[in-house]
Amino acid sequence: MTPRTALTTRTAGGPVTATYWMDHAWLGTHVEPDVTVEVADGRIAGVRTGVQTPPPGATVLRGLTLPGLANAHSHAFHRALRATVQVGSGTFWTWRELMYQVASRLTPDTYFDLARATYAEMALAGITSVGEFHYLHHAPGGTPYANPNAMGEALIAAAAEAGIRITLLDTAYLAAGFGEQPNRHQLRFSDTTADAWAERASLLRGDDHTLIGAAIHSVRAVPAGQLATVAQWAEERDAPLHVHLSEQTAENDACLAAHGRTPTRLLADHGVLGPRTTGIHNTHLTEEDIALLGSSTTGTCMCPTTERDLADGIGPTVALQKAGSPLSLGSDSHAVIDLFEEARAMELNERLRTHIRGHWTAAALLRAASADGHAALGRPDAGVLEPGAPADLTTIALDSVRTAGPVPRLAAETAVFAASAADVRHTVVAGRHIVRDGRHALIEDAPGALAAAVAALHH
């Protein structure tokens, strides 16, 4: 065998604190064998190819190593709904009633327990960063906690204990609908005004693993005259801003009746759209809506496993991307937590809708699950195996019953179209080995923690 040339690129920083050797790595365009990544100060300090044997002291990652995955849209407490909401039939709106029941039982302590276990499940699925769309702010009845951010800080602490990064997208949720006061369930969500929301959200603080962003729950939940307040708060901090957008046709109809325009046009008219903004779902859009989102480079986060679970519909994802809207992926209600399934479903949904195969390459789908997702969460330097990027890695097995057989050069296609979260063997965050050989290094019994946290909310 002809030896490959070892290529080393190193950035300025401290001494190398960890070295990982990968028998196969995804370098953005192709699968490269025999790759070493050196870590310093939590970032990739060097990438070397052609290293045919592991260097002394290196940690060996067998399989295909990818940049860490980004779950761009999560409601952690929805994890307690899994299976429960599959009984019977209904619509998004009947599902929402069950969601409210779980939300009514949460306290800062029980939310911490559930989120910690949910984020551990994410780490086990190869997710290194989550965008938590957080709107459960207050005690039942709407009374603020003594610490007004007790619930948000519980989520931040939960992510830290589970070993993953979090962008806490603190959410303005002020109304039940256009001109409607919050119902008894939604009182926990509401700060009453956008100014009051901004005052509370301004008390939140980030750290090395935490970014603070903003969210508008939806155009039905934030009065039009207060949308700009939330957008300005995010702009002043150069923070990501997310919004549920046109998930349901009922929202579009109500917005047209109240304002004579679509939700997308309403957001555009109030300065919400732009490159730091991501629309969640973007399902039921007009051609003008698509043009507005694309021309403003507003992102689109698709959550296919939730959108199909809730019978929401299939959004115009191809058209959005062609118009200029970057695509990211989220597990949303956590019907499952599996970014490979989200990526696969986005492509397969389009095949069903159009009767045509191959709308995205495996490389493009992996980018949506990693780099573009991290960018949507305020980390544009993440999601690549390059010097200077955060040392966040995900390794999937290439010898499981799902992934065995294809040649290694097709490992990206194997990952997207055959692998599942169950194939994740290693997860590394900031150079720290969080999942090793399929076991969480920080939470010894993640399934048990999930079972206990969910059971506590159903008794």
338: left (phi over 0), alpha (psi -120 to 50) or beta: beta
Name the DSSP class of 85.
G
Is pLDDT of 5 > 80?
no
Residue 244 has pLDDT above 90, yes or no: yes
- The per-residue pLDDT for range 165-184, each reduced to its tens digit, is 999 999 999 999 999 999 98
pTM: 0.96
Closest of 403, 457, 396 to residue 426, by C-alpha: 396
- Rounded to an integer, the average pLDDT of 241-260 is 97
State how far the Cα of 99 lies from the Cα of 364, in Å rounded to an integer: 33
Q: Which residues pair with 390 in a beta bridge?
A: 43
Instruction: Copy the structure tokens of residue 253.
Output: 């109809």
Q: Which of 213, 191, 175 is nearest to 137 (CA)?
A: 191
Which of 73, 75, 137, 281 is the catalytic position? 281
Report d(CA 150, CA 143) in Å as an integer: 12
Average pLDDT over residues 233-244: 98
26, β-bridge pairs: 31
**369-412 tens-digit pLDDT:** 999 999 999 999 999 999 999 999 999 999 999 999 999 999 99
How many beta carbons lie within 10 A of that of residue 455, not counting itself? 10
Look at the alpha carbons of 182, 185, 189, 192 in this order and tell me if their dihedral is positive or negative: positive
**Model confidence at 352: pLDDT above 70:** yes
359 belongs to the catalytic site:
no
Q: Residue length, the chain? A: 459
The yes-or-no answer on residue 207 being catalytic is: no
| Catalytic member of 332, 338, 372, 423 | 332
Separation CA 92–CA 77 (nearest Å): 17
pLDDT at 249: 95
CA atoms of 224 and 268, how far apart (whole Å): 11
3-state secondary structure (DSSP) of residue 296: coil
